[in-house]
Amino acid sequence: MAQTIENIVEPNDAGLTSEMVSFPGQAGSVNAYVSRPKNGTSLGTVVVIHENRGLVGHIKDVARHFAKDGFAAIAVDCMSRIGGSDKWNGSDEATKEIQKVNGTMVAEDLTSAVAYMKKQNYVNGKFGVVGYCWGGGQSLNFATKCKDLNAAVVYYGRNPDPLDSVANIPCAVMGNYAAEDPNIMPGVEPLKAALSKAGKSFDCKVYPGAKHAFNNNTNADRYNPEAAKDAWARTTSFFKSKLA
């Protein structure tokens, strides 16, 4: 039975192996949270990119949900090189500190995460990336720089800069957006046009009535259960088709 994001997957879920790991990066050690089916083999890998508050419990739960749906998920702490997400514990201060981390730094650390996962004996060598909010923009940015990707998903994230760099994306792209998201929505049509011009596949859906960060079930003001459930089903189906 497919998972939905509504219910938390417990960190000690008996069917999963979930743990913090670290591996070498270009600017020092990179931390990440890996979750996978305990006895899984030949798994597709989903690289999960957190929001602007860092690698918090909610994003670890997202990784476990992907594991429940049959993937190896690695949620990378993109704040590793500035002291690590735990230093700010998801606070407002984290949203300020994360501004010190640029797209080049993130792409380097995600590249290191892909290299780490390639060495694991339970994966099949296929990779997808998904990011939320700040991480959504980083997901698209990474997709313009990583030739190892088989699928890329953006949840309400900013477009790559320059936009025509989407021509470098090696895989199909999926977008999940919120209609009530005035900072992000103006970029959706230009992104569609740029991807179309580059001959890239883009499955884009905008959810009426949904706000930015509608997938975050720890944010009562933003969470939209209907949109989150539908977007989760779209995302996992997309990954299953591309990472098998």
Distances (CA, A) of 200 to 163, 171, 190: 13, 7, 14
Sequential DSSP letters for 139-198? HHHHHTT-TTEEEEEEES-PPPSSGGGGGG--SEEEEEEEEE-TTTGGGHHHHHHHHHHT
Rounded mean pLDDT, 34-46: 97
Residue 2 has pLDDT above 70, yes or no: no
Prediction pTM value: 0.97
Nearest-5° Cα angle at 12, 229 to 114? 70
Between strands 172-180 and 123-132, the pairing is unpaired
**Tens digits of residue pLDDT in 75-100:** 999 999 999 999 999 999 999 999 99
Give the pLDDT mean for 163-173: 98
The yes or no reply on domain 16-243 and CATH 3.90.180.10 is no
Q: Output the pLDDT for position 6.
A: 65
Tens digit of each residue's pLDDT (9 = 90 or more) over 176-225: 999 999 999 999 999 999 999 999 999 999 999 999 999 999 999 999 99
